[in-house]
Amino acid sequence: MKKQSFYLYALTLFMTASFGMLQAQENVTTEFGIKGGLNMSNLYTDDADDENVLFGFNAGVYATLPVSDFVAIQPELLFTTRGSKLEYNNALIEGNAKFKLNYIEVPLLVRVNLTKNFNIHAGGYASYLVSSKVTGEGSFNFEEEFDTDNFNKFDAGIAAGVGLDFNPISIGVRYNYGLTTIVKDGDDSSDLKNSNLSLYLSYKLN
Angle at 200 between CA 28 and CA 9, to 5 degrees: 60
Name, of 5-14, 23-32, 90-99, 124-133, the range with top average pLDDT.
124-133
Is the model more confident about 192 or about 19? 192
Which three-class secondary structure state does DSSP give residue 116? coil
* pLDDT value of position 4: 52
| Residues 6+ away with beta carbon under 8 Å from 40 | 53, 54, 55, 56, 196, 197, 198
pLDDT digits (tens, 9 = 90+) for 61-120: 999 999 988 999 999 999 999 998 877 666 676 777 788 999 999 999 999 999 989 999
Separation between Cα atoms, residue 78 and residue 58, nearest integer Å: 6
* pLDDT value of position 10: 58
For residues 51-66, average pLDDT = 92
SS (H, E, C) 149-171: HHECCEEEEEEEEEEEEECCEEE
User: In the structure, what pLDDT confidence band is assigned to residue 51 with cuts at 50, 70 and 90?
Assistant: low
| Residues 6+ away with beta carbon under 8 Å from 197 | 39, 40, 41, 173, 174, 175, 176
Strand 142-145 and strand 118-138: the pairing is antiparallel
pLDDT digits (tens, 9 = 90+) for 134-163: 887 766 676 788 888 888 999 999 999 999
For residues 12-31, average pLDDT = 57
Query: Across the strands, what pairs with 178?
Result: 157
Separation between Cα atoms, residue 58 and residue 82, nearest integer Å: 10
**Other Cβ atoms within 10 Å of 130 Cβ, number:** 12
